[in-house]
Amino acid sequence: MRAITVDQPGGPEVLQLDEVADPVPGPGELLVEVVAAGVNRADLQQRIGVYPPPPGASGIIGLECSGRIAAVGGEVDGWQVGDPCVALLAGGGYAERVAVPAGQVVRPPDGIDLVTAGGLLEVAATVVSNADLVGLDDGETFLVHGGAGGIGSFAIQYAKQLGATVIATAGSPKKLDHCRALGADLAVSYRDDWSAAIADFTGRGVDVILDNMGAKYLDANTAALAPDGRLVIIGLQGGSRAELDLGRLLSRRCSVTATSLRGRPVEQKAAIVARVADTVWPMYAAGRIRAAPETRFGLADAAQAHSRLESGENVGKILLLP
Ligand SMILES: NC(=O)c1ccc[n+]([C@@H]2O[C@H](COP(=O)([O-])OP(=O)(O)OC[C@H]3O[C@@H](n4cnc5c(N)ncnc54)[C@H](OP(=O)(O)O)[C@@H]3O)[C@@H](O)[C@H]2O)c1
Per-residue pLDDT at 303 = 98
| Amino acid at residue number 299 | L
Pocket of ligand 1 (CB under 6 A): 40-42, 122, 126, 145-146, 148-152, 169-171, 175, 190, 212-213, 234-235, 237, 259-261, 309, 312
| 2-120+262-321 carries CATH number 3.90.180.10 | yes
Q: Dihedral of CA 245/248/249/251: which sign?
A: positive
What CA–CA distance (Å, rounded) separates 41 from 160? 24
Per-residue pLDDT at 189 = 98
**Which residue's alpha carbon is at the smallest distance from atom 34 of ligand 1?**
146
Task: Please provide residue 320's backbone torsions phi and psi, each rounded to the nearest 5 degrees.
Answer: -110, 135
- Mean pLDDT of all residues in 232-239: 97
Provide CB contacts within 8 A for 68, sequence distance 6+. 32, 33, 35, 81, 82, 83, 84, 85, 114
Count how many Cα atoms sit within 13 Å of the Cα of residue 243 in the half-sphere of its side chain. 3
User: pTM, whole model, 2 decimals?
Assistant: 0.97
Q: What CATH number belongs to 124-258?
A: 3.40.50.720
pLDDT at 293 over 90: no
What CA–CA distance (Å, rounded) separates 59 from 93? 10
- Within 10 A of 243 (CB to CB), how many other CB atoms are there? 8
The best mutation among 44, 122, 212 to test binding of ligand 1, ranked by most ligand atoms within 8 Å of the C-beta, falls on 212
In ligand 1, the atom with minimum distance to the C-alpha of 153 is 16
* CA dist list (Å): 56 to 150, 161, 263: 27, 37, 11
pLDDT tens for each residue of 124-154:
999 999 999 999 999 999 999 999 999 999 9
* CA dist list (Å): 150 to 14, 44, 145, 163: 24, 14, 11, 21
- Mean pLDDT of all residues in 223-229: 98
Task: Please provide residue 174's backbone torsions phi and psi, each rounded to the nearest 5 degrees.
Answer: -60, -40
- Mean pLDDT of all residues in 264-286: 97
**73 alpha carbon to ligand 1 midpoint, in Å?**
35
For residue 34, the cross-strand partners are: 67
Per-residue pLDDT at 226 = 98
- Mean pLDDT of all residues in 213-230: 98
Which band of pLDDT confidence, cut at 50, 70 and 90, is reported for residue 316? confident
Q: How many residues are listed for the chain in this entry?
A: 322
Which band of pLDDT confidence, cut at 50, 70 and 90, is reported for residue 169? very high
DSSP state string for 56-72 = TS-SS--SEEEEEEEEE
In ligand 1, the atom with minimum distance to the C-alpha of 45 is 47
pLDDT at 315 over 90: no
What residue segments make up the domains of the chain, in order of their start? 2-120+262-321, 124-258
Which band of pLDDT confidence, cut at 50, 70 and 90, is reported for residue 218? very high
pLDDT at 273 over 90: yes
pLDDT tens for each residue of 96-125:
999 999 999 999 999 999 999 999 999 999
Which band of pLDDT confidence, cut at 50, 70 and 90, is reported for residue 282? very high
Count how many Cα atoms sit within 13 Å of the Cα of residue 235 in the half-sphere of its side chain. 24
Provide CB contacts within 8 A for 256, sequence distance 6+. 218, 222, 231, 232, 233, 244, 249
pLDDT at 1 over 90: yes
